[in-house]
Amino acid sequence: MTKWKAFLPLLLSVAVLGCKPEPYTVEAGFTNGSTTGRHIVSKMTITTLSGGRANFAMGSVGGYPGAHSGGGKIDAPAYIEGEWAKGNPEPSSGLISYHRISAPIPDNAEAKMKTMDNYYQNFDRDYGSMEVIVDGPRVRVFYSKSCVDMYDDCTPKQGADPNGWVVRSPKNQTDVVVLFDGKGESSPTPFPSADTATSEHRQKANSPE
């Protein structure tokens, strides 16, 4: 009995150190849109801090906030990877540029989401909106509670945003926090697929000098 008592503090400390805190999660709909016209989004994946993956690729999109899916629970984004193309402004005239990105999302994304969730004085919606917006090579990730002044009381709490993270949405209809704002690679022609790139690499390796 005495031996068990001696080992008990050690066992408790191991148990405490071995427990990881639960990630901060939100219930959110997923949106994929654009502020500069038609785009075709063939791939757009966000990997979260917990290792989860959320798909934001919704094909042909245009307008803000754009196409919407049911979404679900998601924790803070940590990485974004995607491929998309910009449509010609003229109707039925194809695509004019191709873009892709593979980039980390700044590690203050979770803090920004918490700020947004605790921003309003009298508005208490238990779900939000995670939005991926493409504009040519530019891609942005927003998080919003979709509080619209015309219908809701969007009065902010005093001191709720000391870092100035909360900004107006592109249409100036609601508040968002910008979790990511970056530019991807651009090409006038489609990027080679992984299989094509591998094949070309092998052909170069096997060709005589």
pLDDT for the residue numbered 89: 80
Regions in the chain scoring below 50 on pLDDT? 1-18, 194-209
pLDDT for the residue numbered 20: 65
pLDDT for the residue numbered 29: 96
Q: Are 144 and 175 in contact (CB under 8 A)?
A: yes
pLDDT for the residue numbered 19: 59
pLDDT for the residue numbered 102: 97
Show the tokens assigned to 26: 């939100």
Nearest to 176 by CA among 154, 158, 153, 150: 154
pLDDT for the residue numbered 3: 46
pLDDT for the residue numbered 92: 65
Q: State how far the alpha carbon of 91 is from the alpha carbons of 37, 66, 80, 189, in Å.
A: 11, 18, 30, 19
pTM: 0.83
- What DSSP line would sit under the chain, residue for residue? -HHHHHHHHHHHHHHHHHPPPPP-EEEEEEEEE-SSS-EEEEEEEEEETTS-EEE---EEE-SSS-EEEEEEEEE-EEEEEEEEEEEPSSTT--EEEEEEEEEEPPTTHHHHHHHHHT-BSS---S-EEEEEEEETTEEEEEEE----TTTS--PBPTTS-TT--EEE-TTSSSEEEEEEEEE-EEESSPPPPHHHHHHHHHHHHHS--
